[in-house]
Structure formats: C-alpha cells, structure tokens
C-alpha cells in the first residue's frame, strides 16, 4: 500500500471521529475529572491514545514541549498547565478538523489557567516532516500516533533533529511481538485501529537507537490485543538525546551492580556485575542518564563488588521445579542484551520462553521494569509434570 494512501485513510478516519466521537486505540484512559477542571468537554470527548504520556510529570516550568499528533489538544493543554505561562507547547497534527477544534479551545484553556494568552501553537504537519526548528524542544510526547506513520524511521530522525542536546522523549505506542503479515499491512481499516502499522518491539527500539537516542527504556506496559496469534502491546518508552560528551571522562571506571549478571549497553560495551571496567567520556555520558545511573558506580579508582556488598543486586530463582505455562519475556531496554543468574540471555525486543520460576524472578521489584511478559498459550495450559530447572532441559 502506498504511503499516501495510508496517510489519507488515517486522516479521514480521525477527521470523522471529531463528529462521531468514535473511540479508537484506547487501552488506557485519561483522568477526565482532573483534566476537565481546565480542558473543555469538546476536547475530552475526542481524546485518543494508548497511554497517558507520563513524561509530562517530568516537565519543568519554562520548558518547550512538542506533541506529535496533537489531535484535539488534550496533551498539549495538560503540558500548557505544567510548563506555566512562560513555557511553550507545540502541537502537530495532519487533520484539519482536529486542528480547528484544538485552536478554537486554546483561548478557553488559557483563560481557565489564568494565562494572559495561550502558550500553545497548533501547527499542521506530518510526523516525518515536522514544521519545527532544529534543537528547540526539551520534551517530546506522543500518544499512539507514530504507529500510524508509514515511515517511522523518518519520524525518529525528526524527533532527534528537533530535540535540544539533553532533551528527552516519552512516547506511548502500540508494538507487536512479531512482524505484521502483509494481509494486515494492506488493510486500511486496521491502520486506523493502530494494528497494521505496528512495528515489532525490537524494530521500534532499534529504530530509536539508530536515530541517535540513548537510555531508551520502558516506563509503562499493558498487554492490549491478540489477533491471529500476534500480541499487540501498549508500550510507553522514554529516551534521551545525550549532550555532547566532554573530551575526558570525570570518572575512569564503571562497576555494574546488578540485578543482571551481565549486560551490554547501547554502545556495545559489556559489563559483568561487580567487575570494574574502564570507560570513556561517551560511555560515562550514557551511564549517567536516567535508566542507567542507579545501576552503575562511576569512580576514579576501580571498585570491585562481592556478594556481601550491600550494593550488589541479584534475584536467585527458588529451589523448586519448573512449570511451562506459555509465558514469554521481552527485554524492553535500556540494555541491548542481558543475562540473569540462570544464564538466560535476553536480547532487546525478542521473545524468550520462560518457565514459572523465571517468570517470578522477572516480576520481582528488581527486574520488572526491564520486561514485558506475555502469554502465548491459546488455551488454559493443562497441568504438567514439573521439570528440573537446567540448561539441558531447555529451561533455566
């Protein structure tokens, strides 16, 4: 299907929704009671998405926020409240009907917030060619929109272009656990349903990396739908446009504290838990960003950890037999690869079948933020004979 055909079909679908109020792609909802205190009902009733952009909770007064696929304006108006009257919000949408609605409500929202004028600018444009200047944005949010773009890699590159060094994104989107088949890709109706355009989790994450982002990690995950054996997941990711590294690192060594036994970061460096490793300035910059900083000790001198050290982190499986229940685990970053204490090797975005014991480990407080866990068993699993937990048995 031609990209122009896809874009037209999606735009027509969302334009129609302005008048029909059709709900589209909504695994999660907004807090309409809270937002209704300053956002008109006309906006709230056409608010679509697959997750509330939690990145808005990180906004600081005076920042500039960009919403890709702003629709009726709900996320832009929420961002407007958070950045204050001195901040700026830009919303981009390709649908005239949505832009007309959002622009008409902007003065009302500004008045409700006590602002002298609206600080929200709604612009017509496309996600893969954004009408936004280079390096002017502090935070990008997007709610189930990039999924609808035919060329997502161009969208990711545009995101990197407009962000300031040190800027970040938080985007909610629908991804799949396996490639979408052609019969679904060429179904115009399913494009509007956020199905046909879904990338695999692996391709989505790798596309963001290729665009230049770092520290890409999960901040929310909800299983959504299973169609013809394909699992569609609502996933919220955060990542960073890292600032330029200094010529020399301020720290010479990094020691990984766990809970994994070994990890490979987004630059291809492998760290073994407790073993100090020499790092350069670029690696230091990566390890200082959000998802890494709590799991690495950066130091001028090498620091080796032992199991007795309070900073050592590990979660060992219970000493019980395993049961296969149909569960699969997908690593969601920030690591390219990671191994647990039972020598399971997880590659970002790729489904690995796990037994009951491993599932319990991965759902622990130390691990759960790194994984999306799905169940591919089509029916209730028949009670099984427990198996031993060993590599030779294909389990742990």
pLDDT digits (tens, 9 = 90+) for 239-251: 999 988 777 778 8
Q: Please give the pLDDT value at position 9.
A: 47
pLDDT digits (tens, 9 = 90+) for 39-52: 999 998 877 666 66
Please, which pLDDT band fits residue 10 given cuts at 50, 70 and 90? very low
3-state secondary structure of 7: helix
Residue 28 has pLDDT above 80, yes or no: no
Q: Please give the pLDDT value at position 32.
A: 82
Does residue 157 or residue 24 have the better pLDDT? 157
Residue 260 has pLDDT above 90, yes or no: yes
Helix (H) or strand (E) holding 256: strand 253-256
Q: Please give the pLDDT value at position 150.
A: 86
Q: Please give the pLDDT value at position 329.
A: 97
State the average pLDDT over residues 210-233.
92
Q: Please give the pLDDT value at position 197.
A: 84
At which residue do the structure tokens 């199905």 appear? 195
pLDDT digits (tens, 9 = 90+) for 351-377: 999 999 999 999 999 999 999 999 999
DSSP 42-106: HHHTT---SS--GGGGG--TT-EEEEES-TTSHHHHHHHHHH-TTSEEEEEES-HHHHHHHHHHH
Best CA proximity match to 145, nearest among 123, 121, 122, 171: 171
Domains of the chain and any CATH numbers? 3-240 (3.40.50.150), 246-314 (3.40.5.100), 327-393 (no CATH)
Please, which pLDDT band fits residue 17 given cuts at 50, 70 and 90? very low
CB 171 within 8 A of CB 236: yes
The per-residue pLDDT of the chain, averaged, comes to 88
pLDDT digits (tens, 9 = 90+) for 145-204: 898 888 999 999 999 999 999 999 999 999 999 999 998 888 777 666 778 788 999 999
State the average pLDDT over residues 88-103.
95
């Amino acid at each position: 299907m031609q990209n122009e055909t896809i874009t037209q079909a999606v735009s027509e679908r969302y334009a129609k929704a302005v008048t029909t109020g059709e709900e589209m792609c909504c695994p999660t909802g907004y807090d309409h009671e809270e937002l209704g205190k300053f956002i008109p009902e006309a906006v709230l009733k056409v608010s679509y998405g697959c997750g509330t952009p939690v990145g808005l909770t990180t906004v600081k007064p005076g920042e500039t926020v960009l919403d890709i696929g702003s629709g009726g304006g709900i996320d832009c108006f929420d961002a407007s409240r958070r950045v204050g009257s001195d901040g700026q919000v830009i919303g981009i949408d390709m649908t005239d009907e949505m832009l007309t609605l959002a622009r008409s409500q902007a003065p009302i929202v500004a008045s409700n917030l006590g602002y002298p004028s609206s600080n929200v600018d709604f612009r017509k444009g496309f996600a893969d060619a954004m009408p936004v200047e280079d390096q002017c944005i502090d935070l990008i949010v997007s709610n189930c929109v990039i999924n609808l773009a035919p060329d997502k890699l161009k969208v990711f590159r545009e995101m990197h272009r407009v962000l300031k060094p040190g800027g970040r994104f938080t985007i909610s989107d629908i991804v799949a656990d396996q490639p979408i088949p052609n019969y679904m890709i060429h179904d115009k109706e399913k494009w509007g349903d956020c199905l046909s355009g879904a990338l695999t989790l692996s391709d989505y994450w790798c596309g963001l990396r290729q665009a230049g982002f770092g520290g890409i990690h999960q901040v929310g995950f909800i299983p959504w739908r299973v169609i013809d054996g394909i699992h569609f997941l609502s996933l919220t990711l955060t990542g960073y446009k890292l600032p330029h590294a200094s010529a020399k690192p301020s720290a010479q060594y990094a020691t990984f504290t766990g809970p994994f036994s070994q990890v490979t970061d987004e630059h291809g460096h492998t760290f073994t838990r407790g073993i100090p490793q020499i790092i350069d300035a670029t690696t230091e910059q990566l390890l200082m960003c959000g998802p890494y900083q709590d799991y690495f000790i950066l130091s001028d001198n090498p620091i080796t950890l032992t199991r007795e050290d309070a900073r050592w982190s590990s979660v060992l499986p219970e000493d019980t037999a395993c049961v296969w229940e149909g569960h699969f685990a997908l690593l969601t970053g920030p690591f390219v690869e990671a191994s647990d204490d039972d020598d399971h090797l997880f590659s970002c975005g790729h489904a690995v079948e796990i037994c009951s014991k491993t599932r319990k480990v991965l759902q622990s407080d130390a691990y759960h933020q790194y994984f999306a866990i799905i169940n591919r068993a089509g029916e209730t699993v028949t009670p099984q004979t427990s198996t031993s937990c060993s590599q030779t048995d294909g389990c742990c």
